[in-house]
Structure 1
Amino acid sequence: MIKLGTQNFSDCNCIGEGRFWKLYEGEVVHAYACTPVVVKRWDGKYHQGHIQFLTEFETLLKYKHENIIGLVGYCNQMNEKIIVYEHACNGSLAKHLDNPSLTWMKRLKICIDAATGLKFLHEGGVEQEYLMRHRDIRSGSILLDADWNAKISNLEFSVERGKLVDDNACTSLGYTDPKYENEGFLTQHSDIYSLGVILFEMLCGRLACAEGCENHSQSLGPSVVRYYNEEGKLDKMIFEGIKEQIMPQSLTTFQTVAIQCLEVDLDERPNINELIIQLKKALEFQVSFHTSISAGFLLQVHL
């Protein structure tokens, strides 16, 4: 069924690849319908690929949430290690950062969705038993469905609290917590740092560090953000496609918590619940702003 749905893992269906896997678009036929899916196929020759497969599969089994990509099926036979996911038709967030049709309101909702999915991992899911750290939070691992709901994916690097970590397993350029990268010190606050980078990507309309980028001044790392903040020039970083939409109180609330996420001192970073509260406040300010404008417009019409 999986082979048929991906045209025998045709290159035409391949939409991405990692070190040990390839990603395919396809469809699963059941009853009288076809369901679009995404298929990740690991290379059976590599032990590390097998470990990643098991990690992601077990995590998806334990953590079922509307803001975490859904597990549709799997194959674990001999050298075939395959996971079938729900299809998020709008692809990764990374592809939409510079899309002006992705309004500030939508961006805030996506940030809240991503943080909510991460909260579910951090708090151990429904049973609150296995507290997780994702370790690969980036805009490329946040997927968007047809209604622009965000879903966390790429769980092959996730790890339960208390388990040993391979420090070299995952370092995404521009997103990795310096504390983890330099000292191998991994906590849930490491995910908060990565999410903070994404918040600035959403605000600035570009990736934290473009592929092949060697100029640190072009990144969205803490030193750059701190410089613009101290100079009172954070507004110069805002994506032109959304700048005129943002209500000042919404912007201030958002920027403040985003900067806190990038603090070097772990204790200065918000936990996931504090982050969600501030993101929701930023959204409330924005919604109130739009509501008041709409009400004023209606009043003007009646007059």
Structure 2
Amino acid sequence: LTGSKTISLEDVKSATNDFSNERVIGSGASGKIYKGELTLFKNSIPVAVKRLHRADSYGEGAFLKEVVKLSSYAHENIITLRGFCEERNEKIILLDYAINKSLDMHLSNSSLTWGLRLKISIGAAKGLNHIHSFEEDQKTVHGDIKSGNILLDHDWKAAISDFIVSKSQGTLGYLDPQYSLIGATKESDVYSFGVVLFELLSGRLAIEKVEKYSHPTLREIIDGGDEVKEKKVVFLAWLAARCFEEKKQRALIIDDIKEKTDLRSVDIVSEVAYKCLQKDQEKRPTMALVIQELEKAFSIH
């Protein structure tokens, strides 16, 4: 079964119990995602069925073109496209089902060891680098890198999702400050990936309420920030940058990781994450360089 295989609407409805609310496993700006069971050659395989909103926003032939493009990006760290449906004004894509769902659901999980966090970050970085280095279209970017779009299989292998077809405008907390001026670029993807790395280091989401932060050093930085007082939430990218400026970056790291890990490994990851967040896009590393640093961190962890 290839990514450009057509699945009938009848089969999609059968796979999702007629788009039952009980089957919904995710929802975003681009559409709802359902868990489905697709029968192929007498075998039943689990799939994630993404039913796109704004189905009529695609011009004649545009959706098929996007699907064919997506299937051409095959890589072990990009979620596999299993098929699509374009019927009765419906636009639906069928993807591999990730049994461990998305990374954002596991960030604070203490059983997600430093080794696993590194494995996930390296896999996601390789998937994003594949997108950025695709020879047939040098301008291709993801546009919405976040922990919610990094899916995990039974062995915690990372795969990037929500690519191309979603037409996303990015997500608050992960957005490059330059995004409103120049839109999605490879460098803005790198910025977003830096935020994900800090999520993995800190066990926190990109945006959290102020009261969730109790660490005295972090509270001191937060309480001194005018941005936080007004909004009552903390942007992790802002906090990470403040921590680096005050040379207090280790205060961000999960205690369990600090106690059980070679801190040189942690420092390598936090340094490259900070470089990803540089305001000047030209000072940010490429994803190929990010992979090098993450693999170096993995080799000594």
Counterpart of 1:111 in structure 2 is: 121
Counterpart of 2:245 in structure 1 is: 230
1:219 counterpart (214, 235, 240): 235
Q: Give the drift of 1:273.
A: 0.9
2:107 counterpart (87, 97, 100): 97
* Native 8 Å contact 2:209 2:232 kept in 1: no
Counterpart code for 2:179:
Y
Normalising by structure 1, we get a TM-score of 0.83
3-state SS in 2 of match to 1:255: helix
Counterpart code for 2:51:
R
Q: Distance in 2 between matches of 1:266 and 1:61?
A: 30
Q: Give the drift of 1:48.
A: 6.2
Q: Does 1:129 align with 2:128?
A: no
1:13 counterpart (9, 13, 23): 23
Gaps of 5+ in 1: 160-168, 287-303
1:73 counterpart (64, 74, 83): 83
3-state SS in 1 of match to 2:13: helix
3-state SS in 2 of match to 1:178: coil
Counterpart of 1:187 in structure 2 is: 185
Q: Distance in 2 between matches of 1:123 and 1:171?
A: 20
Quick one: structure 1 residues 50 and 113, their matched pair in 2 at CA, closer, same or farther if it must change by over 3 Å?
farther
* Native 8 Å contact 1:136 1:172 kept in 2: yes
* Native 8 Å contact 1:68 1:152 kept in 2: yes
Q: 4+ residue runs of structure 1 moved beyond 3 angstroms?
A: 43-46, 48-56, 156-159, 210-217
Percent identity among equivalent residues?
42
* Native 8 Å contact 2:209 2:233 kept in 1: no
Q: Distance in 2 between matches of 1:231 and 1:26?
A: 49
Q: Distance in 1 between matches of 2:38 and 2:283?
A: 47
Q: Give the drift of 1:114.
A: 0.5
Counterpart of 1:280 in structure 2 is: 295
Q: Does 1:255 align with 2:270?
A: yes
1:266 counterpart (281, 290, 297): 281
The alignment's C-alpha RMSD in Å is 2.5
Q: Give the drift of 1:219.
A: 1.7
Counterpart code for 1:236:
A
* Native 8 Å contact 1:195 1:261 kept in 2: yes
Q: Distance in 1 between matches of 2:209 and 2:99?
A: 24
2:254 counterpart (211, 233, 239): 239
* Native 8 Å contact 1:5 1:28 kept in 2: yes
1:34 counterpart (44, 63, 77): 44
Q: Does 1:141 align with 2:149?
A: yes
Normalising by structure 2, we get a TM-score of 0.83
Q: Does 1:24 align with 2:34?
A: yes
Q: Distance in 2 between matches of 1:49 and 1:238?
A: 47
Residue by residue over 1:230-261, the C-alpha shift from the partner in whole angstroms, topping out at 9 and shown as x without a partner, is 32221111123423122121012111111100
User: How many residues were matched structurally?
Assistant: 272
